[in-house]
């Protein structure tokens, strides 16, 4: 229908709009980065769809982004000739937030504007950031392949609703028209807009063009020429050589591919040649996304083939336990019409995936093993944000298990703190001379682990115990028998065999005590017949009268508790 309709925003959009205007006010120029980023994504999508349907280009295959402004009307317009939007696309994409976990994210907001404002950046704000400087946004769009009379105009003042109507739009693509708020006229300047584009969007691989403005000596004023000029470098950032890319450009590119507002923790950029030829530019974020635990969440790798965008979230290119890695992989070998199904089978993809996994692990090793305090701090941040996910790799990635084990960090009785900072190597370096095993305790919390009666004998003998309290730990331990030839041993399982850590006198004493209490043990065994499998005299306690232990190859008490809680 061509009639104008008014529709309401999804509740989360309203919340987002309000918070955003407050939180990002001091950083308002990022609206341009977000809108250019969307225009670039839209062009990537068109180029990809056109691989199998060249007619989509119509007679305009020269993809670019145009930024213009109108001083009288007080508007800034960002135009692209990318994939465009149909009416339904506009209603869906500009009226709702499609990101997974959105509801959960918003339910966590406290209502305290200051605190919530800090979270919003992490969520990513995208299109709606235009409302920081605009009190009205008009979007005019036509999807590639639809006739000229199936264009759409979407308009909103960013309060509760938006209108939508059909328009004629001869040229394919999208125009975003920002009607500036009172007091934002600073943005109506060629110089200002150009400097923002160079700062935030230089890495965009399409040309970003503007009307050329020049100083006219005779008229003694700037005049607008009937000519377009390209403002950015307009070449794919990852295809440039490393020494031509500044750290700022790497950071801005990260924000573009990740939809994250913060800076990345670290990155790696390489051109790989050999069996398979590809370029990888991979980043580790500084903060876990709110949907890190979403099982349906796909990875964060964009796949390109010879500079042509193929797909977002190419999960085949990175193992699940590295799903937090963001970036771009550009293959020189894959066919342009590659599908997710083909990716699954492809040997080239397997080579790329193995190579990229190794790259990410060595990037983490570089931080973990660095002598620089700044790197150590980065690794600590990484571990806090993503350590639990990395642990999944112990079970998932047999080939790299040993490398991953070296990257693990634990709380330990050595530190008397719940901070997970101790590596297996640290532990091994502090082992007693006669000690052959790495001892650990699992529990549902640090306090429970720390106060476990099982630790008493270890404290007395000054033997360090690793304290494992993450949900994934029990599962991980089932794949990890040893480190560096030293078996891992639970302090709560089996007959505690401290081996050479006990001297002959101790062993003799133990034997005597056991004999002495034989009758008592037998009586207790009968009394507890339906509760305990066996009653033993123990030497692992110093203060507590009794404790429960599991058999060597039984499920631990902690795991049983977790299974019960999960209804198993
Ligand atoms: P994101 O880019 O993270 O998906 P945005 O809020 O920036 O989130 O954009 C929301 C959606 O609106 C996009 O995913 C896209 O579907 C649509 N969109 C926005 N701008 C354009 C555009 N210029 N051309 C086509 N679609 C667009
Ligand atoms: Mg976006």
pLDDT for 527: 85
pLDDT digits (tens, 9 = 90+) for 197-219: 998 898 899 999 999 988 888 88
Q: Among 21-25, 255-259, 372-376, 463-467, name the one with the lowest average pLDDT.
A: 21-25
Question: Would you say residue 131 has pLDDT above 70?
Answer: yes
In angstroms, the CA 426 to CA 440 distance is 14
**ipTM (interface pTM):** 0.99
Answer yes or no: is the C-beta of 39 below 6 A from any ligand 1 atom: yes
Query: When comparing pLDDT for 113 and 459, which is higher?
Result: 459
124 marked as part of a ligand binding site: yes
Ligand 2 centroid, distance to 50 Cα (angstroms): 21
Atom of ligand 1 nearest to the CA of 129: 6
In angstroms, the CA 272 to CA 249 distance is 21
Among all ligands shown, which has an atom nearest to the Cα of 142?
1
Question: Would you say residue 548 has pLDDT above 60?
Answer: yes
Q: Do residues 252 and 203 touch, judged by C-beta distance below 8 A? A: yes
**∠ CA(241), CA(246), CA(248), 5° rounding?**
135
Ligand 2 centroid, distance to 253 Cα (angstroms): 13
Closest Cα to atom 5 of ligand 1: 126
Mutate which of 36, 38, 98 to test ligand 1's pocket (most atoms within 8 Å of Cβ)? 38
Answer yes or no: is the C-beta of 134 below 6 A from any ligand 1 atom: no
pLDDT digits (tens, 9 = 90+) for 527-543: 888 888 788 777 766 77
Mutate which of 24, 93, 99 to test ligand 1's pocket (most atoms within 8 Å of Cβ)? 93
524 marked as part of a ligand binding site: no
Region 118-125 average pLDDT? 70
Atom of ligand 1 nearest to the CA of 124: 3
Closest Cα to atom 14 of ligand 1: 93
Query: When comparing pLDDT for 506 and 458, which is higher?
Result: 458
pLDDT for 109: 78
Mutate which of 34, 41, 174 to test ligand 1's pocket (most atoms within 8 Å of Cβ)? 41
Beta strands per DSSP E along 376-534: 410-412, 417-422, 438-442, 466-468, 482-483, 486-490
Token pair, residue 143, equals: 């999807």
Ligand 2 centroid, distance to 89 Cα (angstroms): 14
pLDDT digits (tens, 9 = 90+) for 90-103: 999 999 887 767 77
Question: Would you say residue 564 has pLDDT above 60?
Answer: yes
530 marked as part of a ligand binding site: no
pLDDT for 297: 67
Give phi and psi for 94, each to the nearest 5.
-110, 10
pLDDT digits (tens, 9 = 90+) for 137-196: 999 999 999 999 999 999 999 998 999 999 999 999 999 999 999 999 999 999 999 999
Atom of ligand 1 nearest to the CA of 38: 20
Region 329-343 average pLDDT? 87
Question: Would you say residue 549 has pLDDT above 90?
Answer: no
327 marked as part of a ligand binding site: no
pLDDT for 567: 57
500 marked as part of a ligand binding site: no
Answer yes or no: is the C-beta of 44 below 6 A from any ligand 1 atom: no
In angstroms, the CA 236 to CA 254 distance is 13
Q: Is 470 left (phi over 0), alpha (psi -120 to 50) or beta?
A: beta
Region 236-261 average pLDDT? 93
Ligand 2 centroid, distance to 397 Cα (angstroms): 33
Token pair, residue 353, equals: 């995936």
Token pair, residue 173, equals: 């693509």
Find, among 477, 479, 105, the residue nearest to 294 by Cα: 105
Answer yes or no: is the C-beta of 300 below 6 A from any ligand 1 atom: no
Question: Would you say residue 4 has pLDDT above 80?
Answer: yes
Ligand 1 centroid, distance to 38 Cα (angstroms): 5
pLDDT for 144: 97
Ligand 1 centroid, distance to 34 Cα (angstroms): 9
Share of the chain above pLDDT 70, in %: 92
Q: Do residues 59 and 99 touch, judged by C-beta distance below 8 A? A: no
pLDDT digits (tens, 9 = 90+) for 374-421: 999 999 999 999 999 999 999 999 999 999 999 999 999 999 899 999
Give phi and psi for 458, each to the nearest 5.
-70, -40
Answer yes or no: is the C-beta of 194 below 6 A from any ligand 1 atom: no
Question: Would you say residue 295 has pLDDT above 60?
Answer: no
- Which among 235-239, 336-340, 516-520 has the top mean pLDDT? 235-239
Q: Which residue has the tokens 């309709």?
A: 5
pLDDT for 66: 98
Write the CB contacts of 116 (distance below 8 Å, at least 6 apart in sequence): 19, 23, 109, 110
Find, among 488, 367, 472, the residue nearest to 424 by Cα: 488
Among all ligands shown, which has an atom nearest to the Cα of 98?
1
When the pLDDT of each residue in the chain is averaged and rounded to a whole number, the result is 89
Token pair, residue 383, equals: 């571990």
Confidence of residue 440 (pLDDT cuts 50, 70, 90): very high
Write the CB contacts of 373 (distance below 8 Å, at least 6 apart in sequence): none
pLDDT digits (tens, 9 = 90+) for 466-519: 999 999 999 999 999 999 999 999 998 766 666 666 677 777 877 888 888 888
Question: Would you say residue 568 has pLDDT above 60?
Answer: no
Answer yes or no: is the C-beta of 127 below 6 A from any ligand 1 atom: yes
In angstroms, the CA 90 to CA 153 distance is 9
Confidence of residue 21 (pLDDT cuts 50, 70, 90): confident
- Which among 45-54, 292-301, 500-509 has the top mean pLDDT? 45-54
Query: When comparing pLDDT for 447 and 338, which is higher?
Result: 447
Q: Among 93-102, 238-247, 298-307, name the one with the lowest average pLDDT.
A: 93-102
């Amino acid at each position: 229908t061509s009639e104008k309709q008014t529709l309401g925003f999804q509740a989360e959009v309203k919340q987002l709009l309000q918070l955003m205007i407050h939180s990002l006010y001091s950083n308002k120029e990022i609206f341009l980065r977000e809108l250019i980023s969307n225009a670039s994504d839209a062009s990537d999508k068109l180029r990809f769809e056109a691989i199998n349907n060249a007619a989509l280009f119509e007679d305009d295959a020269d993809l670019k982004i145009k930024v213009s402004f109108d001083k009288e009307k007080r508007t800034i317009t960002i135009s692209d000739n990318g994939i465009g939007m149909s009416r339904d696309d506009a209603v869906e994409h500009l009226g709702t937030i499609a990101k997974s976990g959105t509801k959960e994210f918003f339910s966590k907001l406290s209502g305290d504007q200051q605190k919530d404002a800090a979270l919003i950046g992490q969520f990513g704000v995208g299109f709606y950031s235009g409302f920081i400087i605009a009190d009205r946004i008009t979007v005019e769009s036509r999807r590639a392949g639809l006739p000229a009379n199936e264009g759409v105009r979407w308009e909103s003042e960013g309060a509760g609703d938006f209108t939508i109507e059909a328009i004629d739009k001869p040229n394919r693509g999208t125009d975003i028209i920002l009607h500036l708020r009172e007091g934002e006229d600073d943005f109506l300047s060629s110089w200002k807009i150009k400097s923002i584009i160079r700062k935030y969007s230089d890495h965009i691989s399409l040309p970003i063009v503007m009307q050329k403005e020049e100083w006219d000596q005779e008229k003694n004023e700037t005049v607008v020429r009937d000519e377009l000029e390209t403002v950015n470098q307009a070449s794919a950032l990852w295809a440039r050589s490393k020494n031509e890319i500044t750290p700022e450009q790497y950071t801005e590119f990260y924000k573009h591919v990740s939809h994250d507002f913060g800076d990345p923790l670290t990155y790696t950029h390489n051109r790989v040649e050999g069996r398979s030829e590809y370029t990888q530019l991979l980043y580790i974020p500084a903060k876990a996304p709110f949907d890190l635990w979403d099982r349906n969440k796909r990875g964060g790798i964009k796949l390109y083939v010879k500079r042509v965008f193929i797909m977002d979230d190419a999960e085949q290119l990175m193992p699940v336990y590295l799903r937090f890695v963001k970036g771009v992989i550009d293959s020189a070998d894959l066919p342009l019409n590659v599908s997710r199904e083909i990716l699954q089978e492809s040997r080239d993809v397997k080579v790329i995936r193995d190579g990229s996994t190794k790259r990410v692990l060595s990037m983490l090793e570089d931080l973990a093993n660095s002598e620089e305090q700044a790197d150590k701090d980065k690794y600590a941040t990484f571990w806090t944000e993503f350590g639990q996910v990395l642990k999944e790799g112990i079970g998932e990635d047999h080939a790299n298990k040993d490398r991953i084990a070296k990257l693990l960090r634990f709380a330990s009785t050595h530190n008397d703190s719940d901070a997970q900072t101790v590596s297996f190597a640290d532990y091994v370096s502090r082992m007693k001379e006669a000690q052959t095993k790495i001892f650990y305790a699992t529990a549902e919390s640090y306090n429970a682990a720390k106060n476990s009666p099982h630790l008493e004998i270890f404290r007395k003998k000054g033997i360090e115990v690793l304290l494992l309290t993450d949900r994934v730990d029990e599962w991980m331990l089932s794949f990890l028998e040893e480190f560096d030839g030293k078996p891992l041993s639970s302090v709560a399982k089996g007959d505690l065999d401290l081996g050479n850590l006990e001297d002959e006198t101790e062993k003799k004493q133990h034997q005597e005590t056991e004999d002495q209490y034989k009758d008592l043990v037998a009586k207790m065994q009968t009394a507890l017949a339906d509760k305990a499998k066996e009653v033993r005299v123990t030497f692992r306690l110093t203060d507590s009268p009794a404790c429960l232990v599991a058999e060597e190859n039984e499920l631990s008490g902690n795991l049983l508790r977790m299974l019960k809680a999960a209804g198993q």
